[in-house]
Amino acid sequence: MLIKQLIKTNLVLSLILGTYSSFAQSRLLLSGELKASEQQLFYAPKSDNWRVQVQWMMKEGDIAQPGDVVVVFDSGSIASEIEQDEVSLEAAKEELVRVTTSNEEKQIEAEFNFKRTELLVQRARIDAAIPQANLSTYDYQKNQLEFEKALINRQKSAQELLQVKTENKVAHNKQLLTIEQLETNLQYNKTQLASMSIKAQRSGPVLYANHPWNGEKAFVGMTAQPGWKIAEIPTMSELYIEAWVHEVDYQKLKLGQPAKLLFDAYLQQPLQATLTEISTQPEERLQWGKDAYFRARFNFSAPKLTLLPGMSAKLTIRSE
């Protein structure tokens, strides 16, 4: 009797386990995360240092309006560099005025000297044109020599005038380049300073990003490398569920397949979702190991629920 009872019990357990196994195999459970189709992302900016510190952030969950400052990074010495650039730029502009005035004076003097030598040439030419018959040999040769000296002096003054003009142009352009460089540095530093305070371009809730290494939420005081995502403002008009499907279960899914959706925050309010997109190329999820996963998107409608991107959800799919 005992043996028969054990056999009967085993048969019942086998039937129950078989039924449960069949039921489990007909259901595919996925964990997902609420995402927004569009969002404004806030990244750590480039700076002179390898890392930049988050100095202030709008409280997570607060609604930002366009123009509101959302994230402020430590500007370091940028403000003092801007002040120094402004002082240097003002001094360079004053130097340009001084150089211009000095150049004008040099050129006026060189032009006057050239005109004076030109007049001396004309006078010497008149004396040199007097026929030798009307003068003594000494006076005639003296006039010829004075004429040649006047021609040489005029040539010298012409070269000096040309040299002064060239030097003036070089000095003027050099000072202009100095001013341009200072203006470029000033504009760059102002742009850097502006990038340290990032403003919202759309309205929506502020959500902190996860640390790319340890998955922790971003926080005030953390140091970030350039390009790290610090926060985001999602567009609440089009939300969806993102899930990652293991390669073993990939063949069980089809576009348009319905799913039962349950948010962790609303366990008593089940919803319906539809598989609208699934990737064709698998990806590795480092935090989950070396297996391959496919990204899947599920659309849904929940007008009565208060939802925020980042919420966790569970999807139950009847596999075929």
Kind of pairing between the strands at 69-73 and 52-57: antiparallel
Domain ends where: 177, 195, 213? 195
pLDDT per position in the chain (320 positions), as tens? 444 454 444 443 443 334 334 444 578 999 999 998 888 999 998 877 778 899 999 999 899 999 999 999 988 788 888 899 999 999 999 999 999 999 999 999 999 999 999 999 999 999 888 898 888 888 889 989 998 999 999 999 999 999 999 999 999 999 999 999 999 999 988 888 888 899 999 888 999 998 888 888 999 999 999 999 999 999 887 899 999 999 999 888 999 999 999 999 999 999 999 999 999 898 887 777 788 999 999 999 988 888 888 899 999 998 65
242 part of a folded domain:
yes
Strand locations in the chain (E): 27-36, 39-43, 52-57, 63-64, 69-73, 197-199, 204-205, 207-208, 223-224, 229-234, 239-246, 258-263, 271-278, 283-284, 292-300, 312-318
pTM of the model: 0.56
What is the number of structural domains in the chain?
2
Of 200, 198, 208, 195, the C-alpha closest to 65 is 200
CA distance 226 to 157: 61
What DSSP character marks residue 132? G
Q: Is residue 11 part of a domain?
A: no
Residues 59 and 207 in one domain: yes
CA distance 81 to 94: 20
CB–CB of 36/228 below 8 Å?
no
Enclosing domain of residue 61: 28-74+202-318
